[in-house]
Chain A
């Protein structure tokens, strides 16, 4: 799709990108500045804070009330597990929708889409009671457990993820699986051995998307997690600015910057899978 760049072509490309990067990054510069600012104020700042301090970063790890390190670990753990399981669940579903024709396929696809559109604001009460009851039966999966939270997040595993993957699977020619079938493979083997390796870009995409949305999720986590040591990062951070008139913007800003780093790392690592591309040479067209 792409031609080699002329010199002028390089210049304007890099130029546009730099403009876009300024747009993307400059609000975050304010967060960085606030994280070094001694007064607890996020508005009314110059970019370089007059009294720069590392105090906020230090407090994050030394205040027992705000165990930032634990929150970070909790969030990472939950986001990783949820993302992996989501990729699995969505992938299984997407494969079925893509490859099989069965009764209820069209309705199912449409239904998946429409269900996501229901405003879930009142769902908080329902889910709270649900997880409460779940905890009665399986104490390790009730309120204030990470298992319970992950199970709730997996409710959203199918849905748009399935659609995205299905669209991608659709573009992989069936001839590959058909030749596998001739060799005696079950559909499941065809799925795991042929399709999944070819689908690495979309698997990486879903993984990254699920990771960030789980990592930043705050509403459900606030309702289901009840003690300081089980909090995820967003819940803990919300606590920092929850007091009506005593918001700790400094620590909040510092926490935000630190929170950003794991996601950037995950995104970076996923880049190789993202562009591995399809090899079409497996079957003679």
Chain B
């Protein structure tokens, strides 16, 4: 009997639940809590001009992507959503995004790296509004001058570290490949190699090449020297810095709110050269995207192009989130801002984060390797080799 019921229910699944029309004539935007307030204002302006209701729904950052996959095709999804560019691969493969068409003049108003980040196969799938990357953030009371080289930085850090007193010189949050990438890239490490057309080759993995292993060895040495402490995650690092107990950290614009709240005098600058080479960092781009299952594509595009692409809104988003705008006119307003300059300097040799779905396996294996290194459970060379081989095995490369 149970089997019969199950197979009947199974057929029910396949008979397919027809998608109910999402509200045509009303716009639904999904945003997480840091962007929602600005968007509510924009939505009101939009409604005033067009008489069409626009609602901003606050959805947890982690939930937007996963809920879109189910809600979108079922007709319960949003028209517009906000998210980082590295979601692009998975969203496009699932047929969840609609390309956005901007005129060449409009495209020129944006940071080319940002536009590139939101492009996939010659089409633009999102309008970028903020770029973010990590840089060196230091407490200017403790470290008045920028260290000239990374080696000098470590020496200064060692001098300032006093575990008994709870004082730290320099910390990189772990296990976090994103924040640690600078160490790898300086020596020539990379994740996926590119072929001639700039297309990423998922089977060309550079995490166990010389440069990567050199970077991992630097981290290992930091632990042995007592600079890097096991268990330092985002909360611990930023907490210590905001309390004045940490002299230098690698962090992004999102940390500044807490740092300012702690009343710390700080400065943002590029990460000093490691072994003579300028380290590259990952750039993440945040943007507005249109759902492929939206019933209001024309209106959605209208909202984005006519209301969101404006210096006022872009600056508002900056003020809310501290992330440098990708919209060049807005960025121009902030030209004198030292924080923006600092992050921009760090991003001089930036690489957009890869957006292919294969990246999840990479982050996991790499994080595991970092965890082992920081806890001194494995030497850096073996750790990175194991990680790279694990990724190769998972992706089915030979």
In the complex, the answer to whether A39 meets B262 with C-beta atoms within 8 Å is yes
In the complex, the answer to whether A39 meets B74 with C-beta atoms within 8 Å is no
In the complex, the answer to whether A242 meets B254 with C-beta atoms within 8 Å is no
The docked-state distance in angstroms from the alpha carbon of A226 to that of B56 is 11
Contact of B235 among A41, A143, A239, A243 (CB under 8 A): A41
Contact of A132 among B60, B76, B257 (CB under 8 A): B76
Interface check B252, CB cutoff 8 A: yes
- Secondary structure at the A interface, as helix, strand, loop or mixed, is loop
Interface check B41, CB cutoff 8 A: no
In the complex, the answer to whether A222 meets B60 with C-beta atoms within 8 Å is yes
* 8 A Cβ contacts from A226-273 to B: 226-228, 238-240, 242-247, 249
Bitwise interface map of A from 138 to 153 toward B, beta carbon under 8 Å scored 1, else 0: 0000010000000000
Contacts of B34 in A (CB 8 A): 243, 246
Contacts of B242 in A (CB 8 A): 39, 41
Interface check B62, CB cutoff 8 A: yes
- Nearest-neighbour CB distance to chain A for B184, whole angstroms, equals 22
Contacts of A41 in B (CB 8 A): 235, 238-239, 242-243, 258
In the complex, the answer to whether A245 meets B261 with C-beta atoms within 8 Å is no
Closest to B55 in A: A227
Q: A39-B243, A39-B261, A227-B57 are in contact. Are A242 and B37 (CB under 8 A)?
A: no
Contacts of B262 in A (CB 8 A): 39
Contacts of B67 in A (CB 8 A): 223
Q: A41-B242, A44-B240, A143-B76 are in contact. Are A133 and B261 (CB under 8 A)?
A: no
Contacts of A129 in B (CB 8 A): 17, 70, 74
Contacts of B37 in A (CB 8 A): 65
Bitwise interface map of B from 240 to 270 toward A, beta carbon under 8 Å scored 1, else 0: 1011000000001011011001100000000
The docked-state distance in angstroms from the alpha carbon of A42 to that of B236 is 9
The docked-state distance in angstroms from the alpha carbon of A240 to that of B32 is 10
* 8 A Cβ contacts from B29-55 to A: 32-34, 36-37
Contact of B239 among A43, A125, A228, A242 (CB under 8 A): A43
Contacts of A30 in B (CB 8 A): none
The docked-state distance in angstroms from the alpha carbon of A246 to that of B60 is 12
Interface check B20, CB cutoff 8 A: yes
In the complex, the answer to whether A132 meets B32 with C-beta atoms within 8 Å is no
Closest to B73 in A: A129
Interface check A170, CB cutoff 8 A: no
12 contacts between A and B (CB under 8 A): A40-B258, A40-B261, A41-B238, A42-B235, A65-B37, A129-B17, A129-B74, A222-B63, A239-B60, A242-B32, A244-B254, A245-B252
